[in-house]
Homo-oligomer: A and B are copies of this chain.
Amino acid sequence: MGVQEDIQRNDEGIATALGILTQAYGPRVETGLALREQHGHTTTWLRNQPPDAVIFPRSTEEVQGIVRICAAHKVPIIPFGTGTSLEGHVNAPAGGISLDFSQMDAILEVHAEDMDVVIQPGVTRKALNTYLRDTGLFFPIDPGADASLGGMAATRASGTCAVRYGTMKDNVLALKAVLPSGEILKTAARARKTSAGYDLTRLMVGSEGTLGIITELTLKLQGIPEATSAATCSFASLEDASNAVIACFQYGLPVARIELLNALQVRACNAYSKLSLPEAPLLLLEFHGSETGVTEQAELFGEIAADHGGTGFELTVKEEDRAKLWQARHDAYWAALQLRPGAKGISTDVCVPISRLAECVAAAEAKLDELGVMAPIVGHVGDGNFHALLLLDMDNPAEIEVAEGFIGWLNDLAISMDGTCTGEHGIGQGKAKYLERELGTGAMQVMGAIKRGIDPDNIFNPGKLALS
């Protein structure tokens, strides 16, 4: 946990800016410790580094005003959505102002014919989908938590549906952001496709608040499918399961979700969700399409699974049964925690080429066994991405040390397989030391040049992305 040191604070600038901000925004500048700590990071094992104040802006103009004041005094600004990021993204290692977007949660325009929506960044994904229900449209990215869409864009989130619908990079059509200069950046028009200059939309998506403060998003929407089916199948080995996944893609089977649970995770889900699945690697799939299409697809999966030794294949079209299965998947985290009551769960996030997935998961399982660390595994296997949830006693430094060693080992293993240390959680503070190992000095040079060019005083979310 040696990566989130405090960085040099500009105490004088912070004091001056806070005075001006308090005059300008009065009681909306909050400085209570509890609120500040809640805006430092709480979902990780990284140390909490609270900001000096939290402000709840209500408009793009207010964000511009705050940025200009902070820029004039070189004070850090850290954008905050719902605080569900996992790698210390919202920590304030140099202090400064946390901008909490919970009051900028308006849905501005729904363009049903264009299948897009314009929103403020504080809208959460569940709130958006509730709002959209009557339009027949939905937003497909589901990272598990009910995160804000601004935060999801900033961290390039994805989740279980990415195999069909892509990640945030594929579903943000355009955005507006306030730059460190206080100017507004509009990244793109609302057209579906553009070749107009550098792809600033994709540059901002995943930039973790280090280049601009997102104040508006235009998102692509999907039609709610006419029908949905689910299927489960158990396999003798991770390799068999993984080969079945590869075959699905080669057959062009348009899976909407394809999730792997390892044997330990199945055991946890059985206990927590009152299921009786065989304690063996399990694939859990969902199909979206027409009534006949989704049955046909699930049946084709059944045949593919059988070819790879799959057993206990079950096809579920009934909404109720399907919901139960997927609820169990969504509760996998809570189920896992029950394996070791009182433990905290710390998640890994490597992603490898799918041909290396079985080998990578099996190696992780063996290593965890060898180290005596309990860590059930779930995987977005269509993308080659999986999470081992390390169940740790946070008061035991020896355990933490072993866990850190394991995570480093796994990240390096994934990198050696031409994979990444992070498929969807981001770099933040927690993975800073792996970024250069993964991409090399050229990428670090380019990222540094971009950061310095846009934010020369390093006031936007400093200390993240290995940039300072």
Contact = CB atoms under 8 A, between A and B. Distances in A.
Contacts of A382: 192
Contact of A191 (B203, B223, B385, B449): B385
Contacts of A20: none
A440 interface: yes
Contact of A446 (B167, B185, B415, B419): B185
Nearest to A382: B192
A465 B200 CA distance: 13
B199 A354 contact: no
A157 B435 CA distance: 29
A200 B355 contact: no
Given A113-B246, A223-B252, A355-B111, A439 B197 contact: yes
Nearest to A166: B170
Given A181-B445, A441-B183, A447-B197, A384 B421 contact: no
Interface in A293-350: 293, 296, 349
Most buried by B among A116, A184, A188, A351: A351
A207 B179 CA distance: 21
A193 interface: yes
A349 B193 CA distance: 11
- Copies of this protein chain in the complex: 2
A353 interface: yes
B193 A385 contact: yes
A186 B443 contact: yes
Contacts of A115: 249-250
Interface stretch (A21-29, A260-268, A273-281, A450-458): A450-458
Contact of A442 (B184, B192, B226, B421): B184
Contact of A351 (B192, B246, B290, B435): B192
A160 interface: no
Contacts of A465: 197-198
Nearest to A181: B445
Interface in A213-267: 222-223, 225-226, 246, 249-252, 254
A200 B158 contact: no
A126 interface: no
A387 interface: no
Interface stretch (A36-44, A91-99, A423-431): A423-431
Contacts of A443: 185-187, 197, 200
A404 interface: no
A196 interface: yes
Given A188-B439, A419-B190, A453-B452, A206 B195 contact: yes
A202 interface: yes
A194 interface: yes
Nearest to A182: B442
A169 interface: yes
B351 A191 contact: yes
B196 A199 contact: no
What 10 A-B pairs come out closest when comparing CB atoms? A449-B453, A202-B202, A453-B453, A185-B442, A113-B355, A190-B418, A191-B351, A223-B252, A194-B420, A195-B426
23 contacts: A115-B250, A136-B250, A166-B170, A179-B445, A179-B446, A183-B442, A189-B415, A189-B418, A189-B438, A190-B353, A191-B414, A192-B353, A192-B384, A193-B380, A193-B383, A196-B431, A196-B434, A196-B435, A198-B450, A202-B202, A211-B446, A222-B252, A226-B252
Given A115-B250, A192-B384, A292-B296, 9 more contacts: A170-B170, A191-B352, A192-B382, A195-B423, A197-B466, A198-B207, A198-B450, A200-B446, A202-B203
Interface of A: 111-116, 136, 155-158, 162, 166-167, 169-170, 179, 181, 183-200, 202-203, 205-207, 211, 222-223, 225-226, 246, 249-252, 254, 289-290, 292-293, 296, 349, 351-355, 380, 382-385, 414-415, 418-427, 431, 434-435, 438-443, 445-447, 449-450, 452-454, 465-466
